[in-house]
Structure 1
């Protein structure tokens, strides 16, 4: 699920708070073949315990740190997997009439990884307490808290996504440094990390300031300069040792970056 798509949905869709419910279920209880509300979507917040749910055939683990978005009229099977009682809350909300085609995520199901966020759980508890009071004022406060919760979810998933990307790019640069001697391409690197090549290139350049192809090329040329300076290997052998199978291509790239051919560079430093 694309994080940007989720953020755009929760920030721009005309959503209306309906209610919040809570439930505690014993470990022996198994509920099968029930459906979500026909006219509302829900955010499922695990509070205590663990449960496995299957929504429209897809398995999810309901536990602290994960929220499930479930659209209207979806089939759910739920199994309690912990020894303690499973406790959860569901915030129900609606999308304005006629907006379904603009916001298809409303009708789908997906997980939101938020970690065990104390502020988010405090907001949820405030919402539950306000809603059960049943007054007009408390309902208005509940609606405000609903949007505060959405805002907090967005902030959390943005931060977690940023941290994930940051760590991922660090792993990618380490992988390049360890494997530059192989005849690998950016596509090979993307496949290794199970990422789409254009997405990898975009994230890499955003963090590193250069494309992964330029980073890999400069890395190889820097390594070849060390070998030209410290070894008696032929230029052809050095080209192969830094990942180039075509000696002539290596020489052209080397000259383009350094202004000298490999042989000229070796003579110059000696």
Structure 2
């Protein structure tokens, strides 16, 4: 498949937004077979979990960092992998009949690699929430969000070139995930991989959609939320366990990111 054809489909074809749906399936759902919409294509976005999907005889492993384009009226069978829950969303869109011959890729199915892009997923969540409002204005806004999502996908596709492939961001992300509790900074990460800090930030934002500082903060806040819900550790102990030596600074960051102080978050969760 020529990526230029994908770019042309999402930038040149007169695609129109139809709707967005979400669904959850579990490991107990061993096999589900259905056809895609008869008169609309779709983009399948994994949200959590992993699934093996069979589309007209072709297997795809669907997890974060991958989107599947499906054309109209294609047979899909799903098998959940790794005994996990699989949550996903599908954006449906149409191409006028008179344009299908010009863009045959619309009727096909293929995978799009976008890595684990937080910006794209945030846009998807915004579209889902906006579409649920069910008003004329929200539908108009949903159509605009759909076009923004296509634009973001194209930007990500274009970035999957040789220059950025050489920069193994996945290794850096793995390092951050394993060491965020050690009070590391972006400068420490840049030094670890012998990359100038501004260059690391530029590459990270292009590939992941957020700055390394934002990604590091998100790792720490998500872990602290888990500890607040499931442990009896003090707020100070939790702050230290996620890489914040200053309890007061941790509290400010936590409130900025969640809207609640750590203490109020714990009470709310309980």
Aligned residue number for residue 13 of structure 2: 13
Distance in 2 (alpha carbons) for counterparts of 1:32 and 1:51: 12
Structure possessing the higher radius of gyration over alpha carbons: 1
Corresponding residue number in structure 2 for 1:84: 84
Deviates more, 1:136-145 or 1:153-162: 153-162
CA pair 5-97 structure 1, distance change in 2 beyond 3 A: same
Are 1:116 and 2:79 counterparts? no
Q: Could you say what secondary structure the match of 1:99 adopts?
A: helix
Matching residue of 1:158 = 158
> What CA distance in whole angstroms lies between the structure 1 residues aligned with 2:162 and 2:143?
29
Give the deviation of 1:98 after TM superposition.
Answer: 1.1
Distance in structure 2 (CA, Å) of the matches to 1:30 and 1:99: 38
Indicate the residue corresponding to 1:138 in structure 2.
Answer: 138
- Counterpart for residue 43 of structure 1: 43
Q: What is the deviation of 1:2? A: 1.1
Structure 1 position 55, deviation (Å): 0.5
> Is 1:60–2:60 an aligned residue pair?
yes
Q: Secondary structure at the match of 1:121?
A: helix
User: What residue ranges of structure 1 are gaps of 5+ in the alignment?
Assistant: 168-270
Q: Write the distance in 2 (CA, Å) between the matches of 1:165 and 1:3.
A: 16
3-state DSSP of counterpart to 1:37: coil
SS in 2 for 1:11: helix
> With structure 1 as the length reference, what TM-score do the two structures score?
0.60
1:206-255 Cα deviation digits (max 9, x unpaired)? xxxxxxxxxxxxxxxxxxxxxxxxxxxxxxxxxxxxxxxxxxxxxxxxxx
Secondary structure of the structure 2 residue equivalent to 1:143: helix
- Tell me the distance in 2 between the aligned counterparts of 1:147 and 1:131: 14
Change (3 A) 1:103 1:135: same
* 1:104-131 CA distance string (max 9 Å, x none): 0100000000000010000000000000
- Cross-structure match for 1:93: 93
> Structure 2 CA distance, aligned partners of 1:116 and 1:25?
21
Q: Deviations 1:4-28 (Å, cap 9, x if unpaired)?
A: 1111111000000000000111111
SS at match of 1:139: helix
Contact 1:3 1:161 in 2 (8 A): no
- Cα offset for 1:161? 2.7
Q: Secondary structure at the match of 2:78?
A: strand
Q: In the alignment, is the contact (CA less than 8 A) between 1:17 and 1:143 conserved in 2? A: yes
Deviation at 1:160? 1.2
In the alignment, the residues of structure 1 paired with residue 26 and residue 166 of structure 2 have an alpha-carbon distance, to the nearest angstrom, of 41
Q: How many equivalent residue pairs?
A: 167
- Pairwise CA distance, 1:166: 6.8
Counterpart CA distance in 1 for 2:20 and 2:30 is 22
2: distance between equivalents of 1:162 and 1:52?
28
Deviation per CA, 1:92-112: give whole Å up to 9, x if none: 000012111000010000000
User: What are the Cα deviations for residues 138-175 of structure 1, in whole angstroms up to 9, with x where unaligned?
Assistant: 000000000000000000110113536778xxxxxxxx
| Alpha-carbon distance in structure 2 between the residues aligned to 1:53 and 1:89 | 14
SS in 2 for 1:88: strand
User: Structure 1 residues 162, 94: CA separation in 2 closer, same or farther (over 3 Å shift)?
Assistant: farther
